[in-house]
């Protein structure tokens, strides 16, 4: 059986798919003309941190006080970024931070827009004791999330409780009031484990389950309990981790649903994917009926895998943060990231097509990456994706072809 992997480039995007000469019904990602109602288009990205320095340039900056070892005001992060990149405007419009991503979202019109919100949305003033870093955004700035028409924010991460249980409660209430579904944290274990259910215009229901792992720095004391608020914590190294997720999915999934497992896992730096994470991802697809594994926590993109025609993102990279101008780990190019725009066959959850848009954080906004930076990302994905059977070929010409070859 022959497979032809192919890509098409549009305005610097990395597009990938898999055509097959196999008989109908055989496995393989295909790019065939389908009505919009017969496909599900997603926008996924890594951590979106709109607190601290970014909060200070938005329309309603909150209390800048911090309790960090070297920095006691969030305004200092704005000053550091300005020394690196030039003047950053203040009191910006809510859509400023999304920059060039908004035009791409408008072009693609994804059915579901999912981000990992790496900050509390609160005016609470009591920082979690013993924690070095605390992120918060003023609730009036939630309009920046609405500006990108975000459908769902993952809260199962290591910053949602930075400002205590009062901060978590206000975060959830603020998102609900803005029409955005929070997932992965709640007033008790049942609410924290409950998926977000999103109905697409084509009548497909997308279920998002969210989990926070200790390997990403989620304190185990943050785990939600029967009568205590907190995060939906998953021990991703436990032998029964996949069965735990499978139990959650089976309790909610109905025929025709598309299921995303969004997991905050792994360290901030490095490309290595723990064997246990790959095994868990495979088990989630094989045993739990998961269609997309949306991994995040790493400050830079990590490898991509397509397993049994299902998409696995081991680490999406930071999509937006206030780290600009801060030295260290520059070999990973943490200012570069990707918009992940997969299209799925709703009948099977199989990946039909994947578009990657290279981006760059500059002046606290998302910008299209330069051709040189897009090439760097492609080379990194090729190098790190080789063990997972994925590679990308990017042509410099706008509108040129890209070819994705599967590794042996």
Domains of the chain: which residue ranges?
3-20+35-391
Strand pairing report for 365-368 and 136-137: unpaired
Is pTM, for the whole model, over 0.85?
yes
Q: Which two tokens stand for residue 109?
A: 């019109």
Distances (CA, A) of 87 to 81, 84, 125: 8, 9, 29
**pLDDT (tens place) for every residue of the chain, 408 residues total:** 333 333 433 445 555 544 333 333 333 444 444 455 579 999 999 999 999 999 999 999 999 999 999 999 999 999 999 999 999 999 999 999 999 999 999 999 999 999 999 999 999 999 999 999 999 999 999 999 999 999 999 999 999 999 999 999 999 999 999 999 999 999 999 999 999 999 999 999 999 999 999 999 999 999 999 999 999 999 999 999 999 999 999 999 999 999 999 999 999 999 999 999 999 999 999 999 999 999 999 999 999 999 999 999 999 999 999 999 998 999 999 999 999 999 999 999 999 888 889 999 999 999 998 888 888 999 999 999 999 999 876 745 433 223 344 443
CA distance 353 to 343: 5
Beta-carbon contacts of 15 under 8 Å, excluding residues fewer than 6 positions away, are 7, 8, 9, 353, 354, 355, 356, 402
Which among 216, 382, 356 has a CA at the least distance from the CA of 299?
A: 216
Burial bucket for residue 98 (CB in 10 Å: 0-12, 13-18, 19+): buried
Domain 3-20+35-391 has CATH 3.40.50.970: no
Decide if 370 contacts 14 (C-beta within 8 A).
no
């Amino acid at each position: 059986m022959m497979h032809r992997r192919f890509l098409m480039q549009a305005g610097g995007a990395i597009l990938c798919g898999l055509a097959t000469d196999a008989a109908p019904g055989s496995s393989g990602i295909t790019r065939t003309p389908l009505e919009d109602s017969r496909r599900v288009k997603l926008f996924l990205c890594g951590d979106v941190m709109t607190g601290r320095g970014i909060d200070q340039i938005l329309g309603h900056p909150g209390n800048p006080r911090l309790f960090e070892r070297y920095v006691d005001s969030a305004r200092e992060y704005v000053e550091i970024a300005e020394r690196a990149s030039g003047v950053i405007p203040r009191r910006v419009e809510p859509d400023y931070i999304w920059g060039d991503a908004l035009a791409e979202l408008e072009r693609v019109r994804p059915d579901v827009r999912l981000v990992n919100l790496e900050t509390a949305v609160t005016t609470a003033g009591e920082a979690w004791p013993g924690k070095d870093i605390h992120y918060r955004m003023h609730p009036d700035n939630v309009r920046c999330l609405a500006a990108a028409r975000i459908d769902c924010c993952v809260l199962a991460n290591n910053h949602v409780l930075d400002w205590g249980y009062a901060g978590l409660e206000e975060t959830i209430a603020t998102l609900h009031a803005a029409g955005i579904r929070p997932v992965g944290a709640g007033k008790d274990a049942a609410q924290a484990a409950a998926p977000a259910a999103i109905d697409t215009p084509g009548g497909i229901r997308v279920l998002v389950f969210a989990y926070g792992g200790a390997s990403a720095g989620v304190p185990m004391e943050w785990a939600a309990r029967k009568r205590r608020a907190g995060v939906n914590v998953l021990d991703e190294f436990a032998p029964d981790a996949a069965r735990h997720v499978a139990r959650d999915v089976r309790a909610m999934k109905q025929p025709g649903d598309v299921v995303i497992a969004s997991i905050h896992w792994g360290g901030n730096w490095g490309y290595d994917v723990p064997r246990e994470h790959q095994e868990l991802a495979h088990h989630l697809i094989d045993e739990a009926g998961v269609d997309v594994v949306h991994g995040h926590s790493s400050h830079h993109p990590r490898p991509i895998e397509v397993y049994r025609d299902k998409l696995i993102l081991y680490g999406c990279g930071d999509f937006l943060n206030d780290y600009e101008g801060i030295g260290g780990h520059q070999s990973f190019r943490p200012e570069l990231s990707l918009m992940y725009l997969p299209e799925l066959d709703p009948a099977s959850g199989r990946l039909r097509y994947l578009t990657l848009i290279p981006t760059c954080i500059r002046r606290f906004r998302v910008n299209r990456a330069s051709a040189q930076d897009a090439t760097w990302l492609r080379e990194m994905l090729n190098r790190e994706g080789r063990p997972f059977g994925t590679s990308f070929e990017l042509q410099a010409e706008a509108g040129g072809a890209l070819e994705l070859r599967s590794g042996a």
